[in-house]
Chains A and B, each alone.
Chain A
Amino acid sequence: MTTPKKLSPVERIKTESHGLRGTLKESLLDEITGSLREDDQSLIKLHGMYQQDDRDRREERTAKKLEWLYSYMVRLRLPGGFMTSAQWQSLHHIAGEHSTGVIKITTRQTIQLHGIIKSHLKPTLKAFDLQGLDSIAACGDVNRNVICSAHPNQSPAHKEIFQYAEKISLMTLPKTRAYYEIWLDEEQLADRNEDDPLYQDRYLPRKFKIAIAIPPNNDVDVFTNDIGLIAVVENNQLKGFNIAVGGGLGTTHGNEQTYPRLGTLIGSLDTEEKILKAVYEVITIQRDYGDRSDRKLARLKYTLDRIGVDAFKKELEHRCGFTLDTVRPFEFTDRKDFYGWQPGPDGKWHYTLFVENGRVLDDENVKLKTALYEIAKTDKVNFRFTGNQNVILSDIDDSDKDTIDLLLEQYALIQHTSQAGPVRKNAMACVAFNTCPLALAEAQRYLPSLISKIEPLLAKYNLQEEEISVRMTGCPNGCARPYAAEIGFVGTAYGRYNLHIGGDKLGERLNTKFKESLDESQILETLNELFAIFKNEKSGNETFGDFSHRKWISKN
C-alpha cells in the first residue's frame, strides 16, 4: 500500500475546531480588522459565509493606509430554492441594511448577499433567523444546498419530490450547535451531545453537492453533481429515483489530473427509506475514501475513478445492506426555464422571470428589486429560484393572477423578460470580479455586453432564434457550469477566455476546449466563422452543440 500522505491544512482546522467553533467569537470581537483569524476564515465557510475583499480596491486602499476592504458573502441554505413572500421582504431589507444591496440568485437555487462587514454579520444572520432562514452548511466541506427542479408544473408529483430536497438537507446537517452560539447568541451547554455520526469531527474531504431532477427538464444540470437523483414518475406517481454519482466540474489550469466529469448512473431506488439511506452512505464512502491530502483531487468524482464504479457500487450496497435496482428509463428533452406565465397541475399560476446572471437590483432600465419587493408585499406569491439564476413567482391563485400581472406590467418586467433574446435568456455567468478571490477574468459583469456582440453575429446568419446555451466563468472552477454548455467561456487571465464547444443542450455531454486564451475580438472572430459554417452545414434541427461536436470535436 502507499504510505499515508500528509493531510491538507484544512483537515487540521476542521478537526481541531471544537465543532466548527474555532476562535470565531474572538475573531468577531477583534475590532482593529475587518478580517478573521486565518483558521476561522476556513471555518466560517461551514457556517455559510466567505471572507472576501473588494479586489478592485486593493491598491488604492493600501495607499490610504487602510487594510483591504474585507467583507463577507453570506449564502443561504434554501433546499430546492424556495422562499415565501415574507421571507423575500425581509431579505430585501436585510440586503439594503447590511450588504451591497444586490441580491444574487446563484446557480444552485439560493441567494447570496455580498459586502457585509464583520460587525454586520451577526445582525444579518439574526435577521434571517427571525424569518426561519439560515446559512448552515451552505459552503464548506459538507453537503451543500440540495437543489431540485424548480417549476411546479414539471409534474403532479413535484411537491412530493421537492420535499426530498428538504429531507436530504436536514439529514445531512452538521450536528454542532456552533452556528446558533456564534451568530445567534445561544448559550453554550457543556453537556450537549454533539456526536456527528455522518461528519464525525473531520467533515468531508471536500464540498459535496446533490441535485434532484424531474424529467423531462434537466434544469438542475443533475449530472454535474456528486449525487444526482432523477425522479421516476409513472402515471403521475413518484416511483423512485435513478441515482448518478461522481459528477463535478471544477478543474485547475495546468493541472492535468483535474477534469470535469458527469455523474455515472449506478441504479435506482424505490422507497424513501432506501433513497435516503443510499444518499447517506454515498456520503460516508466519500468521507472515508476521499483524498484528504490534495484538495484538488478530493471530490467524489476522483474517489470514484480511483476506486472504480463497480467497486464503489459494491461498497455502497454493502453499507446500505440492500442492492440497487437497475436504472429505470427516463428522458430529458430540455434544460431551461420556461419564461412567462405557466399554469400548474393544481390550478395555480407561475410566472418565470428573467434575471440576468441572477443579479437582482434596480438599474436605469429596470427596477427589478423594487418590483420584486412590491410583488412580495402582496403576499400572494412564493419565490422559487431556478438553477439558471432566475426566479419563478409561484403558487398564485387564479384570482390573484391579475394583481401580479399588473405589477409585472407596471415595472415593465414582462417586457424585460420577453425582449431578451434566446441566447441571453439561456446564458449564465458566475460572480467572478470584484468579490470572488479566485477570479482570473470577469464574468457576470462582462457576459451581458459580450452577448450584445454575439447576437448580431447570429442575426447575420439568421440564427437569432437558436437557443444556444452560453456560459461563462472567471476561472476554471466552473461555477456557472461552463463545461456543460454549448459554448463555454472559461477565464484564463484578465480579458482572456478559453473557448469550449461541443457540449449538448441537455447536460448529458460535456464540451471540449477548442481555443485557448482568446480576447474579445478573437472570440467574436472565431464565433463568426463557426456560425457561418454551422449555418451552411447543419442538418435539420441539429443544435449548435451537437453540430460542433460532430464537426470539430469528435473527429479529432
Chain B
Amino acid sequence: MQYGPAAFNTAKVILMLRFLLKRLGLAALVALTVSLISFSLLFLAGDPAVALAGEAATEEDIEAIRTQYGFDRPIPVQYVAWLTGAFTGDFGNSYYFNTPVIDLISDRLPTTMQLGLAGITFALLLAVPLGVIAAIRPNSLIDRFALFISVVGQAMPTFWFSLILIVIFAVNMGWVPVSGSGTWQHFILPTIVLGYFATPGIMRLTRAGMLEVLRADYIRTARAKGLNPAKVLFKHALRNAAIPVVGLAAVQLGFMLGGSIVIESIFALNGAGLLAFESINRNDFPVVQALILLFSLIYVLLTLLADLLNAWLDPRIRVA
C-alpha cells in the first residue's frame, strides 16, 4: 500500500525542513541586525574614549585610550573586527575586571538560564492546567481562584512578593535558604517568584483559547465519534489552544532570561541580569555589548523555537 507511516513521515519531514530553512534564514538576518545595533550602542552614548577616561583625564589620556582600544579606526572596521571576534566567542576584555568578557558571561549565564527555564516551567505547570480547568468550568470555584491568582500576580510588585516568600519560607519555616546560588534549594523561591509573574498571561490565554476551541465544530465532531472526554480535551482541543500560548511562553522566557535583575539581586543569585546591570553602571562596554547581543540572540532563538513548535502543532503554518 502507498500510505504507510513511512510515506506519511517523509512528506511531513520535507515540509518541516523547508519551513526550518526559511525560518533559519530569517533568524540569521535578525541576528545580524541586532549585532549592528548592539555594536552601535557604544557610540550612541557619546565618545567611548571620553567615558572610559573619566572626569579628571587630560586630552592626552583620552587620545592614548582611543588608540589603545582602537576607537581611532573607522567605525565599520571596528564593527567587522568586533563581529569576527564575536563569532569565535572573543568579545575582548572587560574594562572593569580586565578579564575576557566571555569568561565573565559563561560564569554567570548558567545561573540565569537555570532560573529562567525553571521559572517558565513553573509558570506553565501552574498556568496551563488552571487555564484548562477554568475553561471547562467557567465561573466555577477554580475559575475564580485562577482569576484571583492572576489579579494578584499582576498587582504585586516583584520585590514585595519575594520578601514575603523569604520571610515565610526561609526565615520563619527555615525550609529553604534565604539567598545565594549554591544548591538547587536556592532556586526554589526565585523560581516561584519569576514563574508566578508569567502565570497570569499564560493562564488567561490558555483559558480564552480553550473556551474558543471548545466551541469549535471539530470538537463536536470529535464527540460525535464517541471519543472519551479526555481525548477530546487533550488531543483535539488543547493542541489548537496551545498555539498562541507557545508564542507567549517564548516571549516570557525571553524576558526572564534577559531581565531578572530584580530577582537576581534580591536572592543574591549571581546571574547575567545582574552582570548587565552592574556593567552598565561601570561603563563596561564590551560586557554590555556582548550581553545585549547574547540576550537578543537568545530571543531570536526562542522565537524560532516557538515558530517550529507551532508549525508542528498546526500544519497550516508549515506551508506559510
Asked if chains A and B come from one complex, the reply is no
Interface residues of A (CB under 8 A from B): none
Interface residues of B (CB under 8 A from A): none
